[in-house]
Amino acid sequence: MKGFRFTPPRIIAISYFGIALIGALLLALPISRHVPVSFTDDFFTSASALYVTGLSTVTTSTTWTTFGDVVIAVLIQVGGAGITFVTTSFYLLMGRKISLGARMVIAEDRNFGVHGVVRLMKAILQFSFAFEGAAALLFTLYFRFVYHYPWDRAVGISIFHSISAFNNAGFDLWGNSLEGFSTDPFVLLLTSILIIFGGLGFIVLAELYNFRRTRTLSLHTRIVLRVTAFLLVAGTLLVLFFESYASMKGLSWPYKILNAWFMSVTTRTAGFDAIPVGHLKEVTWFVFTILMFIGASPGSTGGGIKTTTFYTLIRTALSTARGRSEIVVGERSIPQEQAQRSLVIFLLAMGVVMGCTMIDAALEPRIRLMRIVFEEVSAFGTVGLTTGITSIVNTPVKWVLIFTMYVGRIGILTLLISLVQKGQSKVKRIPERILIG
């Protein structure tokens, strides 16, 4: 095609689709499954794993063989670390220098500047394997000696669960997520730790790791930590308020608090549940929809519009309401172009979710609208929570959800830039004020 260039956003967009297709072809092999599965379900599972979502049209524990589980785990690992995980790992292992072009692709994929991008990828590899390895060891010992799993099952399920939790994927091998562990603090709290640290972002993890030496944290890290803490606490309190005497009425207060905390954590784009989401009140679904839409933090394994985008929108609104042109945060200020970018991300994300929701509603008129909205936001935020409709929707809706997961994972701006040829008009137009509000 004349004028077409493989820019970093286009490489990212094509790569995420291509690897999902390869994963679907691997899952389509007879060695990957116990029962026949349509190609749509193969592709849906592959895309959900690569885009670290966790929505599934089939039951993972009974559909896929050990080989299929390994394929899913690898897709989750690649998707969580970023599509550039494979190529960068190869370069680092071979001791080869990474070209500027490759650095630009990595920077686009990880939402990071070109400077220091290789150091960031090394940190991603180190943190991923450190968290996943330590958690897998703890889970293995726990499942072996507390639940008396055979060693092979304890090891396999622990590795898979640790990868799925740290990468905020939400896939499980039990068949009912973590509903069987609603009164097990060890499983829920250790899973929470993996989800939270996976959702903070690798830049934040690196700064926290070096804090003892530097004694400083960037504005980005401080914002991420504050917003994350606020959302976790607010989500816990709201779940307790709405569900204590509803879905959790049979639990004692310590377990109510534990499960409210876990359900708040899992909306950070993880997708596990300890209380069946379909049993919750609609108002709780609404709370979860907001939390899922905000999502995790930039450069993390999670999705959503991101915590920093949400924070920037709030600070911009407050500054505007106070008549200030500068967005002040402590002794720093946020550039106006970042405020504009945050607004664009928010509006485009709302457009994708609303557009796909209307298409789903037209294709599946028998399903209540709130369930469809919840499903679409879960797909866009790469969360994986469901009210129970994923496995019963028709094939066209499954492909709409695949598209939503795809957009949520690569980023709405990356997709937009990959489709549009860059060009800037040199014509300057006369500004004119309009009435607003």
Q: Has residue 424 been placed in a domain?
A: no
Structure-block tokens of residue 425: 């008009």
- Would you say residue 294 has pLDDT above 50? yes
Q: What is the pLDDT of residues 246-263, one digit of tens each?
A: 999 999 999 999 999 999
State which residues form the domain around 81: 8-415
Mean pLDDT, residues 416-436: 63
Question: In this predicted structure, what is the pLDDT of residue 105?
Answer: 46
Please tell me the least confidently modeled range out of 99-103, 130-134, 277-281, 380-384: 99-103
Instruction: Look at residue 430 and tell me if it is in a domain.
Output: no
Instruction: Between 6 and 355, name the one with better pLDDT.
Output: 355
Report which of residues 206 and 75 the model is more confident about.
75
The average pLDDT across 29-56 equals 94
Is a pLDDT exceeding 90 seen at residue 207?
A: no
How many domains does the chain divide into? 1
| pLDDT tens figures, 299-336 | 777 888 999 999 999 999 988 888 887 888 877 888 88
- What is the model's pLDDT at position 88? 54
Within a domain: residue 421?
no
Q: Span 365-377, mean pLDDT?
A: 95
pLDDT given at position 16: 86
Is 94 a residue whose pLDDT tops 60? Answer: no
Neighbours of 138 (CB within 10 A): 14
Check whether 435 has a pLDDT greater than 70: no
Residue 435 located in a structural domain: no
Q: What is the pLDDT of residue 424?
A: 55
Reply yes or no on whether the pLDDT at 93 is more than 60: no
- Is residue 425 situated within a structural domain? no
Check residue 426 and give its pLDDT.
60
pLDDT at position 162, please? Answer: 96
- Whether the per-residue pLDDT at 100 is higher than 50: the answer is no
Please indicate, yes or no, if residue 122 is contained in any of the structural domains. Answer: yes
Contact 409, 51 (CB under 8 A): yes
What the block records as the tokens of 228 is: 């994350």
**423 part of a folded domain:** no
Tens-digit pLDDT profile for residues 133-156: 999 999 999 999 999 999 999 999
* Cβ-based neighbours of 274, under 8 Å, separated by 6 or more: 177, 178, 179, 181, 182, 188, 259, 262, 263
Supply the pLDDT for residue 415: 65
Residue 101 has pLDDT above 90, yes or no: no
